[in-house]
Amino acid sequence: MKKRTSFFALVAVFALVVAACSSSSDETTTTTEATESSTVLDLAIEAGQFSILIAAIEAADLTATLSGEGPFTVLAPTDAAFEAAFEALGIEAADLLADTETLTAILTYHVLGQAADSQLVATLDGQSVATLNGQSVDISVDAGQILINTATVVSADLMASNGIVHVINEVLLPPDIAQALGVGAPEETTTTTMPTTTTTVAPDPTIAEIVAGLAAGDPAEFTILLAALETTGLVDALNNPDDELTVFAPTDEAFGVLLEALGITAEELLARDDLADILLYHVSGAGIFDAATVIGAAPIAELETLNSGGATLKVEFIDGNVVINDGATPLGGATVTTPDVFASNGVIHVIDTVLLP
């Protein structure tokens, strides 16, 4: 069964990406760039999603370290991840914060002494990488999802001036501390004849439901994409849980650039006769192509789409970036800025440019 980034995890970190990072329309990159003055620590503070992590960094006197030159890759557990760890270990936050030796060992186990974006990390499948703790974490890729030990990267490539932050859904315990605490690999339980874990996971939403959910969020994203899908009657085409689709989803900013380039309003775009074909040009029905698959197969000269005219996409891996239709006119190629948002019926890759057949 495929491991998938849940929509709810995406919503939880979407505000972090918007609040902590600002994108540049002059550069193509698979990541969302922060302002030059934002360190990895600044990102966590500004986000408001990592209060326990911030308190732990301060208690361990690591503030100056993570505000330093770097480069660092920080594997940042959310507050929910810390709370789950406290419950599992039967301790309170104050207990951990008071034990600065153990706390420092745990925190430095979440930091790599190099800048490693998701593209690079994905190439390390099956390998171990040393942390500032001195002990290593294991990297694996399962159905396009990057796992650090058993923690899943739920939001990748939050770029800072001194490194990169990847948000994870579990607290990582160094092997020696895990052994001392008697913590082993999570056990599996069974119900009747079907194996299952002790955690109940809600079904993933469809691609259409993810787009609609984010368009209704605060901050909102994909509002123009959703309006276009509704106008053309294509919502149902992305709502069948039995399909296996790969969708390249342009952001609202990407649509804004398109409107400016064409010299039209959003209303005029929604009234275009070819709008449905433009949207279907962003959808491949050839299967679920996660980032690892795309990178491994690149260059792809002709990726089939649902466009009625049979128009295909050219997919390349250029300078560490997944680029769609490089050099296309009038907008140029589209770069994947957020890969691998998994749904029950496929995967979404967020792109920074609208693709025109």
DSSP 244-305: -EEEEEE-HHHHHHHHHHHT--HHHHHT-TTHHHHHHTTEE-S----HHHHHHH--EEEEE-
Cα angle value 342/22/315 (rounded, 5°) = 45
pLDDT digit of tens for each residue in the chain (357 aa)? Answer: 233 333 433 433 343 333 333 333 332 223 344 444 578 888 777 766 788 999 999 999 998 888 888 888 999 998 888 988 888 888 888 988 998 999 999 999 999 888 888 888 888 888 888 888 888 899 998 877 889 999 998 888 888 888 888 889 899 999 988 888 776 544 333 333 333 333 334 457 899 999 998 888 878 899 999 999 999 999 999 999 889 999 999 999 999 999 999 999 999 999 999 999 999 999 999 988 887 778 778 899 999 999 999 999 999 988 778 899 998 888 889 999 888 888 889 999 999 999 999
Per-residue pLDDT, 184: 55
Per-residue pLDDT, 357: 93
Per-residue pLDDT, 40: 81
DSSP 193-237: TEEEESS--PPPPPHHHHHHHHHTSSS--SHHHHHHHHHHT-TGG
Q: Would the CATH topology of 7-188 be identical to that of 207-351?
A: yes
Per-residue pLDDT, 37: 58
Position 38, amino acid: S
pTM over 0.85: no
Per-residue pLDDT, 118: 84
Q: Which residues contact 296 (CB under 8 A, 6 or more apart)?
A: none
Q: How many CA atoms lie within 13 A of 109 on its CB side?
A: 23
263: left (phi over 0), alpha (psi -120 to 50) or beta: left
Q: How far is CA 311 from CA 23, 124, 306, 325, in A?
A: 29, 34, 8, 12
SS3 assignment, position 32:
strand
Exposed, middle or buried by CB within 10 Å (0-12, 13-18, 19+), for 354?
A: buried
CA distance 16 to 137: 25
Per-residue pLDDT, 350: 92
Q: CATH assignment of 207-351?
A: 2.30.180.10
What residue spans define the domains of the chain? 7-188, 207-351
Residues facing 145 on adjacent strands: 142
Per-residue pLDDT, 183: 65
Position 91, amino acid: I
CA distance 83 to 178: 17
Is the separation of the CB atoms in 283 and 243 below 8 Å? Answer: no
200-257, pLDDT tens digit by residue?
344 578 999 999 988 888 788 999 999 999 999 999 999 998 899 999 999 999 999 9
CATH homologous superfamily of 7-188 equals FAS1 domain (2.30.180.10)
Q: How many CA atoms lie within 13 A of 46 on its CB side?
A: 20
276: how many CB neighbours lie within 10 A of its CB? Answer: 19
